[in-house]
């Protein structure tokens, strides 16, 4: 198996170990996604990458391999922005990325969210949990997602629907416990012509993520270290990011006080004790209801930290796709769409599409 040989390159002998080339990374990911590697070998490979630190070349090779076998929708669709939050979700905070994306769609953007449910190691709440409370749903069918974006300017698509080979990695990832480079890979399943808003964890991965976006040919993009490594900025402090625009990488700082949206703390979810060993937040019905209630209150006009966080997230999306020149203008457009009823109208239209 090729993965065993490549694993030796990563960590067999310190003097001989080195990062993988783009071509080697491509071969490694092709082998993993084919299901031809054992869980033990995949787990060892992921741990080796985790502790070595993944490079731009490696992530680019992984992404190219995944895109080569995935069914990626909306190819060539103008004005498309792909929103790519962490697929293992959130536990302590409501996943407001779905709400930010819907607000951006209400303000005129064409938004394709790429996410999933029950992804280890965290198995937290993700966009589909929020959609259920709005009468909407995630789709596993790329063709259906493309139709929804074309007709309704919004869709949430399962990454495993595009790339079933990711399912081969679930047990190994659960055993590893820690986040691995697969957590970044699954956020890169986007058409190369689209703008991308990608969540990044703290640390040097921010620069790595945006360089990969650039290397994959995306014309515009934003990598953001939002709440829990997501795409929604913090309201209690500044959020770091890097924007890709016209081939140039530009540092980005989202300061909520610049828009009068600062708060002392983040919107949080109540805790109901530690989850069972085999469960995650996605298995907790009460936690899901609490997260849905937070988003429902925002849509009903309640002005709180969740609303302000969602507006800033929408502002980032609108600026990234080019519908606003500045982040402040994007936040203003988002606020108009939310307060003027365009978002609730968009949700009603999408509900009709999803039930046809």
Alpha-carbon distance of 311 to 308, in angstroms, equals: 5
User: 80-354, what's its fold?
Assistant: Pyrimidine Nucleoside Phosphorylase; Chain A, domain 2 (3.40.1030)
pLDDT given at position 175? 82
25: how many CB neighbours lie within 10 A of its CB? 25
Q: 165-207, pLDDT tens digit by residue? A: 999 888 888 888 778 888 889 999 999 999 999 999 888 889 9
pLDDT tens digits along 137-150:
999 999 999 999 99
Choice among 84-88, 165-169, 222-226, 277-281 with the minimum mean pLDDT = 277-281
All residues at 6 or more sequence positions from 354 whose CB lies less than 8 Å from its CB, including other chains: 136, 137, 139, 148
pLDDT at residue 6, rounded to an integer: 84
Q: Where along the chain do its domains lie?
A: 2-69, 80-354
CA–CA gap between residue 167 and residue 59 (Å, rounded): 19
- From 31-40, 67-76, 256-265, the region with the lowest mean pLDDT: 31-40
Query: What is the pLDDT at residue 23?
Result: 95
Q: CATH topology of 2-69 equal to that of 80-354?
A: no
For the entire predicted model, the pTM comes to: 0.94
Are 157 and 139 within 8 A, CB to CB? yes
Burial class (CB in 10 A: 0-12, 13-18, 19+), 75: exposed
Cβ within 8 Å of residue 211, ≥6 positions away: 56, 249
Whether the predicted pLDDT of 275 surpasses 60? no
Query: What is the residue-averaged pLDDT of the chain?
Result: 92
**How far is it, in rounded angstroms, from Cα 199 to Cα 191?**
17
How many residues belong to the chain? 356
pLDDT digits (tens, 9 = 90+) for 287-302: 999 999 999 999 999 9
Between residues 62 and 17, which one has the greater pLDDT? 62
Collect all residues with Cβ–Cβ distance below 8 Å to 298 and sequence separation of at least 6: 99, 304, 306, 307, 310, 338
Per-residue model confidence (pLDDT) at position 247: 87
Per-residue model confidence (pLDDT) at position 51:
82
The DSSP bridge pattern shows strands 239-245 and 248-254 to be antiparallel
Confidence grade of residue 244 (pLDDT, cut at 50, 70, 90): very high
C-alpha span between 266 and 269 (Å, rounded): 10
Give me the percent of the chain exceeding a pLDDT of 90: 74
State the fold for domain 2-69. 1.20.970
DSSP string covering 98-150, please? HHHHHHHHHTT-EEEEEE-SS-TTT--B-HHHHHHHTT---BS-HHHHHHHHH
Tokens of residue 16, six digits: 């001989």
pLDDT over threshold 90, residue 277 = no
Report the helix count and the strand count for the chain, using DSSP H and E.
15, 7
Retrieve residue 139's tokens.
């789709």
Instruction: Give the CA diameter of the chain.
Output: 62
What pLDDT, in 10s, does the model give residues 93-116? 999 999 999 999 999 999 999 999
Q: Which pLDDT score is estimated for 16? A: 64
Share of the chain above pLDDT 70, in %: 96
Task: Write down the pLDDT at residue 349.
Answer: 95
């Amino acid at each position: 198996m090729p993965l065993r040989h490549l694993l030796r390159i990563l960590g067999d002998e310190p003097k001989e170990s080195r990062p993988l080339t783009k071509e080697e990374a491509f071969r490694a990911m092709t082998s993993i996604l084919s299901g031809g590697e054992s869980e033990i070998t995949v787990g060892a490979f992921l741990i080796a990458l985790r502790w070595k630190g993944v490079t731009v070349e490696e992530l680019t090779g992984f992404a190219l391999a995944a895109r080569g076998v995935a069914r990626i929708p909306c190819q060539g669709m103008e004005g498309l922005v792909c929103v790519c939050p962490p697929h293992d979700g959130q536990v302590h905070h409501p996943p407001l990325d779905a709400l930010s994306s819907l607000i951006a769609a209400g303000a005129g953007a064409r938004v394709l969210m790429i996410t999933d449910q029950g992804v280890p190691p965290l198995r937290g709440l993700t966009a589909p949990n929020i959609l259920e409370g709005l009468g909407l749903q995630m789709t596993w069918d790329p063709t259906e997602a493309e139709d929804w974006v074309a007709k309704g300017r919004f869709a949430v698509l399962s990454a495993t629907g595009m790339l079933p080979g990711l399912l081969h990695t679930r047990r190994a990832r659960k055993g590893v416990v820690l986040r691995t480079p697969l957590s970044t890979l699954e956020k890169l399943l986007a058409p190369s012509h689209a703008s991308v808003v990608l969540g990044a964890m703290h640390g040097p991965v921010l620069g790595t993520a945006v360089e990969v976006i650039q290397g994959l040919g995306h014309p515009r993009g934003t990598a953001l270290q939002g709440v829990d490594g997501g795409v929604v900025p913090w309201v209690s402090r500044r959020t770091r990011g890097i924007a890709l625009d016209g081939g140039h990488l530009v540092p980005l700082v989202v300061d909520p006080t610049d828009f009068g949206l600062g708060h002392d703390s983040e919107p949080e979810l109540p805790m109901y004790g530690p989850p069972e060993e085999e469960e995650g937040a996605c298995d907790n019905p009460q936690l899901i209801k609490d997260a849905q209630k937070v988003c429902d209150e925002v849509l009903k006009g309640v002005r709180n930290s969740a609303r302000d966080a969602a507006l800033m997230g929408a502002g980032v999306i609108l600026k990234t796709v080019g519908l606003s020149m500045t982040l402040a203008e994007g936040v203003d457009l988002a606020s108009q769409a939310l307060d003027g009823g365009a978002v609730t109208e968009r949700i009603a239209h999408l509900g009709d599409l999803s039930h046809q």
